[in-house]
Amino acid sequence: VLALVTGASGFVGSHLVDALLAEGWRVRRLARPASPPVPGAPRDAVETRVAALDDAAAIVRSGALADVDAIFHVAGVTRAHSAARFRAGNVAPTAALLDAAAVVAPHARGVLVSSQAAAGPAASRDRPRTEEDAPAPVGAYGASKREAEALVAAHAIGARWTIVRPSAVYGPRDRDFVPVFRHAARGVALYPGTRDAWLSLVHAPDLARALVRAATVPAAAGRTYFVAGDEAVAWPEVYAAAARAAGTRVRWAHDAPRWALAAVGAIGDAWSAVTGHDTLAGREKLALGAPRWWLCSAARARAELAWQPATSLDEGMRATRAWYRAAGWL
Ligand SMILES: NC(=O)c1ccc[n+]([C@@H]2O[C@H](COP(=O)([O-])OP(=O)(O)OC[C@H]3O[C@@H](n4cnc5c(N)ncnc54)[C@H](OP(=O)(O)O)[C@@H]3O)[C@@H](O)[C@H]2O)c1
């Protein structure tokens, strides 16, 4: 069986490539002209086709979709300083890939990697968001991911596609959690606004297995799934687990005040606008960080995909730290 993967050079995409190869798939990537190599995978294990992701005709011409059994659209933009950039990176490529697939691979199964941000946070600690709740996207990022979901649902071949909304993802090759590990190893925890904020987390290899299930379980066609680990985790527990992985514990914790974060966000946005570089400290990230309960339920994925997370938070944090150390990131 042959899979086409977009976003293979990225964090989630590279773990998906690992999972597909481990399960015996042939893997082809659709790369952009400027894409770096796929980290982790042996160089000759992945076939590469190149096209601009927002150009359906170019995707067809590249031959990327010939004979594929499954299409995994993982590519996306998670950091940008304008709504236009989020849309350009998350909406236009989804439209082009669907249009190209309708011509060349209308019977292939498809998986769109969306995000919890397209659905919105939970209303309270004990009511994690489910797929039945009406979407309430957060920020320009969430809006762009939601728009991509709507394209899939409305498309002529959309009934062959599955939408997966991962919670926050952590694991080897991820850059966002590096500061958490760095601080925690020194016994320090810095909370964005309040420490009483909760999130769902999933370890990248667990998410990758769920994506493969989404493309292969017949009943998953046309469905939407949250994918997350079992535990609702408060930020102090994230730092505590990162500290345990380093053989230490948190001795100094601090809630960064919201006004300070807002100021940093404004500075980040201004810097991005002037330099053209996208910064994580933009107001967009603050919008995503504001809700207290980024919790979702993976009950539907567990039941319908016969999937379950295999990694506890402590195991995942230990594996992540070990990888960061081996790679020289810590
Ligand atoms: N990380 C998380 O916590 C998380 C949570 C929920 C959902 N997601 C979703 O998962 C997907 C992958 O995210 P990720 O965390 O793996 O991000 P990432 O490491 O930044 O990877 C994204 C990949 O998308 C491709 N891409 C396409 N257009 C791009 C552009 N204009 N700029 C930069 N890269 C572009 C690149 O792959 P190529 O070079 O191979 O084209 C890039 O490596 C995204 O759709 C994201 O919305 C991530």
From 55, 74, 285, the mutation candidate for ligand 1 (largest count of ligand atoms within 8 A of CB) is 74
Give the separation between CA 108 and CA 221, rounded to whole angstroms: 11
Q: Give 269-310 pLDDT, tens digit per residue.
A: 666 656 556 655 567 777 777 888 999 999 999 999 999 999
Ligand 1 atom 36: the closest Cα is on which residue?
Answer: 7
73 CA closest ligand 1 atom index: 45
pLDDT (0 to 100) of residue 194:
75
Please provide the DSSP assignment of 274-289 as one string: HH----TTSHHHHHHH
Residue 174 Cα to ligand 1 middle (Å):
11
- Residues touching ligand 1 (Cβ under 6 Å) are 7-13, 31-32, 35, 53, 74-78, 89, 113, 115, 145, 166, 168-169
Q: Mean pLDDT throughout 179-185?
A: 94
Rounded to the nearest integer, the mean pLDDT of the chain is 93
* DSSP state letter for 234: E
Does the CA dihedral 122-192-171-252 come out positive or negative? negative
169 CA closest ligand 1 atom index: 3
pLDDT (0 to 100) of residue 132:
98
Say yes or no to pLDDT of 24 above 70: yes
Q: List Cβ neighbours of 257 (8 Å cut-off, separation of 6 or more).
A: 193
Q: Give 184-196 pLDDT, tens digit per residue.
A: 999 999 887 778 8
Q: Which amino acid is at 100?
A: A
Give the separation between CA 169 and CA 157, rounded to whole angstroms: 28
Ligand 1 atom 13: the closest Cα is on which residue?
Answer: 12
Q: Give 92-118 pLDDT, tens digit per residue.
A: 999 999 999 999 999 999 999 999 999
pTM above 0.75, yes or no: yes
Give the separation between CA 67 and CA 293, rounded to whole angstroms: 42
In the chain, which residue ranges form alpha helices assigned H by DSSP? 11-22, 56-62, 83-90, 92-104, 139-154, 178-185, 204-216, 235-245, 258-275, 283-289, 299-304, 313-327
Task: Give the C-alpha distances (Å, rounded to integers) separating 309 from 202, 244, 258.
Answer: 8, 21, 34
